[in-house]
Amino acid sequence: MSESVGLPHSPDVPLCVDLDESLVRTDTLAESALALIRSSPVNGLRLLYWAWGGRARLKVRVAEACTLDASLLPYNDEVLAFLRAERRAGRRLILTTGAAHSVAEGVARHLGLFDEVVATTVDRNLTGRVKGEVLRERYGEGFDYLGNAAADVPVWRHARRALVVGAPMFLRRLSARGITPARAFGGGKWSLRVVIRGLRVQQWAKNLLLFVPLLTSHKIFSDPPAVLAAGVAFLAFSLCASGVYLVNDVLDLEHDRKHPTKRHRPLAAGLMSIRAAGLWTTGLLLAAGLAASQLPRAFAAILAIYFVATFAYSMALKQRPVLDVLCLAGLYTLRIGAGAAAISVPVSRWLLAFSIFLFLSLALVKRISELRLTRGAEGGRLHGRGYLGSDLDLLSGMGAASAYTAVLTLALYVTSPEVSRLYTRPDFLWAICPCFLYWLTRILLLARRGEITDDPVVFAIKDPASYAVLALTVLFTVVAI
């Protein structure tokens, strides 16, 4: 087919519709395979064995082992609205996809739009040239086809009209190959905003903890190399964290789509593909490793521990009650240890004790917020976590106890002999204690009311009262010096 724009619309002509990254903004095979690996890493070996038998066998076996919930898939709203309009006009719709037949049947049942399903079976991978030949045998050249990839070119060449899901650059490449779309749909446009959201750049604020040892050792104004090292450490941790966030989002797709706010994340919403997430993750981790190589080996070791721990958290620990929040508190504290390693200073035991209790409290606040947001207090289970609504009061009590223990640790530190050696006017540090009491109590109160809908650190970035507490803390610390 070389030209189709001028052809008239006809409801008598069947419309064949591709599934992956056309009707839905994702790759169903990749999602199913990742869900299998998430359930048990041993399934990775099963995938390799199935792949040895060919692509068609792999798709069918994966679909048999993992059933996708069609109601949770991120559909392309523009395409879906078009298909519903065509259906109302009496158009015959055929779901024609390289996905396994059982996956396609599930989508067809959920949407209730398709008259027929033509998909991959164990002896036929319905993609590219094979798909084109099957449709030509069925309909001659009397069908329209909606697809999204270069692999669909052989199908469009047999079709009466080409309907294309893709970015402008892809459409231009198709035109150069003699395929002129009768209609184009959005869905493949690269967006810097989407990438930034996927990398969760706002979460980099957590890595400011790496500068805490620089501040507490009083090197920030007297040791420029140490400041530079802390900056490189911040960059390395931020790049590594973004890579891990992408891995977490890929592995947690189903749970995120059931969450009232996390379902809008780029991967869960299908705005970023799994393939793109893999490429970004690889690049980010390589860049983080390069940055870490410029710092002491102790820092690189801590960064490696951070990566392994966060990966373990994403794979399993986040589903273990209590263990999950302890892990989160440990990851926060690990940042402080990494900051000390980057500038080669010892870590105060007081600082470590304070940070463990402080961040355990904030981790508990995160779970409280999620339970409130998902109406878990009514008795439901928090998707992807091990908590019930009935746990809310216990979590609130644990959060308060941990918060006030952190402040008590700070008060004990102020009275320690170590403070008198570092500060000329240590009594001013006492004023920091009520500041933290106010801030932590307020955070707990807002979380219990359901007014914190995100990570408490992200909430603090947008909260004027948090900035006021931070300013007072810095002021009293400077005066004490």
Specify whether 360 is located in the same domain as 461.
Answer: yes
Looking at 134, 166, 185, the residue that finishes a domain is 185
- Tens-digit pLDDT string for the chain (481 aa): 434 444 455 667 899 999 999 999 999 999 899 888 877 778 888 889 898 988 999 999 999 998 888 999 999 999 999 999 999 989 999 999 999 999 999 999 999 999 999 999 998 999 999 999 999 999 887 899 999 888 899 999 889 999 999 877 777 788 778 788 888 898 655 678 888 888 888 888 888 889 988 887 777 777 889 999 999 999 999 999 999 889 888 888 877 788 777 888 888 888 888 888 889 999 999 999 999 999 999 999 999 999 999 888 877 787 788 888 898 889 988 999 999 999 988 887 888 888 899 999 998 988 888 888 766 444 455 655 677 777 788 888 999 999 999 999 988 888 877 777 777 788 888 888 999 999 999 999 998 888 887 778 778 888 889 889 888 988 888 788 7
On whether residue 155 sits in a domain, the answer given is yes
In the prediction, which pLDDT does 189 show?
55
In the prediction, which pLDDT does 377 show?
40
Specify whether 179 is located in the same domain as 202.
Answer: no
On whether residue 7 sits in a domain, the answer given is no
On whether residue 139 sits in a domain, the answer given is yes
> The domain spanning residue 196 has which CATH number?
1.10.600
Specify whether 359 is located in the same domain as 259.
Answer: yes
**Token match 């079709």: residue?**
159
Contact 59, 30 (CB under 8 A): no
On whether residue 9 sits in a domain, the answer given is no
On whether residue 2 sits in a domain, the answer given is no
- Distances in whole angstroms, Cα of residue 100 to Cα of each of 29, 59, 119, 430: 8, 6, 6, 65
What's the CA angle centered on 400, arms 399 and 401, to 5 degrees? 95
Specify whether 220 is located in the same domain as 78.
Answer: no
Specify whether 241 is located in the same domain as 297.
Answer: yes
**Pairing label, strands 144-147, 116-120:** unpaired
In the prediction, which pLDDT does 2 show?
37
- Alpha-helix residue ranges (DSSP H) falling in 206-348: 212-216, 224-251, 253-257, 274-292, 297-315, 323-342
Residue 16: which of 129, 102, 142 has the closest Cα?
A: 142
**Token match 């067809």: residue?**
108
On whether residue 269 sits in a domain, the answer given is yes
Reduced to 3 states, what is the DSSP secondary structure of residue 233?
Answer: helix
Looking at 120, 154, 185, the residue that finishes a domain is 185
Residue 184 and residue 17: Cα distance in Å, rounded?
Answer: 13
On whether residue 272 sits in a domain, the answer given is yes
Specify whether 303 is located in the same domain as 264.
Answer: yes
Q: How many CB atoms lie within 10 A of CB 471?
A: 11
Backbone angles phi, psi at 388, to 5 degrees: -110, 165
Start-to-end CA span in the chain (Å)? 78
**Token match 């069609």: residue?**
70
Say what the pTM is: 0.77
Give the E-state strand segments of 186-321 in sequence order. none
Specify whether 180 is located in the same domain as 90.
Answer: yes
Residue 368 and residue 202: Cα distance in Å, rounded?
Answer: 21
Residue 434: which of 415, 411, 456, 459 has the closest Cα?
A: 411
Contact 258, 383 (CB under 8 A): yes
Residue 230 and residue 239: Cα distance in Å, rounded?
Answer: 14
Looking at 185, 211, 229, the residue that finishes a domain is 185
Specify whether 261 is located in the same domain as 343.
Answer: yes
Reduced to 3 states, what is the DSSP secondary structure of residue 217?
Answer: coil
Specify whether 355 is located in the same domain as 212.
Answer: yes
In the prediction, which pLDDT does 17 show?
95
Q: How many CB atoms lie within 10 A of CB 312?
A: 12
**Pairing label, strands 183-185, 15-17:** unpaired
Residue 354: which of 421, 455, 429 has the closest Cα?
A: 429
Quote the domain boundaries for residue 350.
Answer: 192-480
Give the E-state strand segments of 140-191 in sequence order. 144-147, 161-165, 183-185
In the prediction, which pLDDT does 3 show?
45
Specify whether 352 is located in the same domain as 286.
Answer: yes
In the prediction, which pLDDT does 411 show?
87
Specify whether 219 is located in the same domain as 241.
Answer: yes
Specify whether 54 is located in the same domain as 196.
Answer: no
Domains contained in the chain, number: 2
Q: How many CB atoms lie within 10 A of CB 12?
A: 8
On whether residue 5 sits in a domain, the answer given is no
In the prediction, which pLDDT does 376 show?
45
> The domain spanning residue 78 has which CATH number?
3.40.50.1000
In the prediction, which pLDDT does 149 show?
86
